[in-house]
Structure 1
């Protein structure tokens, strides 16, 4: 049986793989997309039931298709987002094969390209785009042993309050996922503790504009990637309940008990760093900085956007902030579940090329790997702040497609260089 061949093989059928397929298709580059599960699987099964997009429908989309059944300022559901990606793949006729897992990709000796082993056979490809994104394997820090008398799950596996055993819940991590889950559980009547680490905390809306609009006009979505190793910035923002600023003082006033960063465990007692006030203050400073930048923009441009002095009014400091807990006895507090909203790790073990650092992170320039004919897409801060967002990955995919087209053009040249006659 002959080995199947293609020019470019895209690994991953989520938003990154679909965006990559669109641009390669427009450039006339033969390609295939392999997805080990289903298109947009993470949106289908790797999110909690009530999750909505963190950005409004007018913004969180690809440029060539809107959410026709949603209002522009709506925060669409996770299921609607999954359906959007399925529809988009169909619209561009992306050659996606679902249920095909890549197990290994190795270089072909002497003639270039790769031999790619999959669950459905082998494929030979001239180039590979790893479009598996940033959220591959949930990470639970090794703080509490699995034998402890408390259920531990990652936020990736949380679905709804009814899924959890009765009792209080400790949520570790106050980025968008952790803060929203803590809010949902508190509204469901659970006693909730929320461990808050360093974070950015933008306003949901200010002066009649969503914060995604402000980041756009202020040029902050295009902020260049930071120094390697400092790419991850926890952002606490939410589109839930129509979209509200994620204010930790407000959450505490509604019943959530805030703590500092979770740092240790012994004999049923969970310990916290003495950094809650510092972390909340830094989040407040980030919030005010964006307000200041927005006000300066309005003053500079003369836009008719009404002032909003109430945006600078703070909720009262709750007791858990003025007198932070250093630890809690899980049993005494009735904590039956710990939800770790502590991020993900990447896994490129299947890609047998020399383009990774000592931490296993890709070495690349705007997605173009240090190793020839290898590309990455969907990484946080791949080229800019917006790289891991739906619309941001679309623009990064365009850059990679351009680089692939350039390389193909060079390889198609088969003549001699022009000979320039000497001037008479």
Structure 2
């Protein structure tokens, strides 16, 4: 039996905070649409975060459309269960026309200019398509993982939940971005012996001169800076996030302090060969560069304080509390005591289902504030789509509103044409 093809003026792919924000603004304008989510709304937050996960930005930055944070701790950092409750509250407010458990398998433009949207529950058509599925799709696990013995438990960061999940023994965490640094801390605080292969992620202070660094940067206008105004321009989209934590009220993550307390630090993991882990001789350079970024951000805050004549306590620059000794570039795996490896080296985007000329040679979307050169195709929720907060709760709603304004102009004002049909 052939099912009839249903039509939606706007098809939104992804039911996280980005897709829900687009739905909110479309509903405000009476524009018909459907949200397709292959799992359930806000699925990733509930299923791909560890148990002690919390925001690294203060709660006051959570400002989804029509749903600002209104809890008792605006300067705190919501934990996993609180984040999920916050997002479920947003879903309840938006009441989106969402098709949960429906995967979008292919989107392509037909000869008549309308988009064909092929899904796991049948075919749809749409005038406009908004990609709101984020950019973190395929967990990165390097080919060297295949050389590890089967006795070693291997997990990606999105599979890690808590230390008890891992077998007894020591743990190697590969990568020191936000996830790697926080998971290494989680294991360290639980008393596990941790080995950390340090990458090139920068770090920043949690608090400086009496205030959260995020608050200082907000006052300085950093979060209003657009990608076009940033010194790196589009290159900022490839930057690794600074590592810091909101855990226990918020604090710095200082890998040097962890090392002083017994964590083993190495340079970047390069290979597994002849039963040994091979590390790059760049640990000291990576730590030094992270500290330069840390002190550089604080120096920019110092300048702002001086220019504004703000009376706050003076704070000295960070000085290292530990220095690496002779570099360790090889570690015998059998004798190391390592029984588990956590790969915390990110994700690759996968937009293979979208047949549109909107990607660069690396498979990343080309756009200007989410609007692509192919009419009717948009992106929302990507890091630095327009500003630093584009991939976060703080600014995704503004980006969604901008996209919806573009869509409204394209579709016109005929509300009869803006209904979902079929």
Task: Please report the TM-score for the alignment, with normalisation by the length of structure 1.
Answer: 0.91
Corresponding residue number in structure 1 for 2:125: 124
Residue 72 of structure 1 aligns to a residue in which SS?
coil
One of 307, 319, 323 as aligned partner of 1:314: 319
Q: Deviations over 1:180-222 (max 9, x none)?
A: 1111111112111111111221110112221221222222223
Residue 365 of structure 1 aligns to a residue in which SS?
coil
One of 353, 356, 359 as aligned partner of 1:356: 359
**Structure 1 residue 252 corresponds to structure 2 residue 274:** no
Corresponding residue number in structure 2 for 1:327: 330
| 1:398 Cα deviation after fit | 1.7
Residue 390 of structure 1 aligns to a residue in which SS?
coil
Residue 29 of structure 1 aligns to a residue in which SS?
coil
Q: Deviations over 1:303-353 (max 9, x none)?
A: 3333333xx2434224xx233311211221111111010100111111112
For 1:320-399, what aligned pairs fall within 5 Å after superposition? 321-399=324-402
Conserved? CA contact 2:280–2:329, under 8 Å: yes
| 1:411 Cα deviation after fit | 9.0
| 1:51 Cα deviation after fit | 0.5
Query: Which has the higher mean CA deviation after the structures are superposed, 87-96 or 45-54?
Result: 87-96
Q: 1:60 to 1:329 in 2, by over 3 A?
A: farther
Structure 2 unaligned regions, length at least 5: 416-422
Paired with 1:291 and 1:358, the residues of 2 have a C-alpha distance of 37
Conserved? CA contact 1:200–1:233, under 8 Å: no
| 1:392 Cα deviation after fit | 2.1
Structure 1 unaligned regions, length at least 5: 413-424
Q: Deviations over 1:60-106 (max 9, x none)?
A: 34253244444112211112212211211221232222111111112
Paired with 1:63 and 1:34, the residues of 2 have a C-alpha distance of 20
> Whose RCO is larger (CA < 8 A, sep 6+)?
2
| 1:230 Cα deviation after fit | 5.7
Coordinate RMSD, CA, aligned: 1.9
For 1:77-96, what aligned pairs fall within 5 Å after superposition? 77-96=79-98
Conserved? CA contact 1:57–1:70, under 8 Å: no
Paired with 1:410 and 1:272, the residues of 2 have a C-alpha distance of 60
Q: Deviations over 1:119-167 (max 9, x none)?
A: 1222111000010002111111112315524221101100100000111
| 1:379 Cα deviation after fit | 1.4
**Structure 1 residue 280 corresponds to structure 2 residue 287:** yes
Corresponding residue number in structure 1 for 2:246: 239
Paired with 2:140 and 2:357, the residues of 1 have a C-alpha distance of 25
| 1:385 Cα deviation after fit | 2.3
Q: Deviations over 1:358-388 (max 9, x none)?
A: 2211121111112221001111221222221
Q: Deviations over 1:261-296 (max 9, x none)?
A: 111110221111111111111111111111111111
Paired with 1:313 and 1:289, the residues of 2 have a C-alpha distance of 10
Q: 1:178 to 1:290 in 2, by over 3 A?
A: same
How many pairs does the alignment contain?
407
| 1:19 Cα deviation after fit | 1.2
Conserved? CA contact 2:67–2:90, under 8 Å: yes
Conserved? CA contact 2:64–2:396, under 8 Å: no
| 1:241 Cα deviation after fit | 2.2
Corresponding residue number in structure 1 for 2:419: none
Corresponding residue number in structure 2 for 1:419: none
Paired with 1:388 and 1:115, the residues of 2 have a C-alpha distance of 27
One of 36, 41, 44 as aligned partner of 1:42: 44
Query: Which has the higher mean CA deviation after the structures are superposed, 326-335 or 40-49?
Result: 326-335
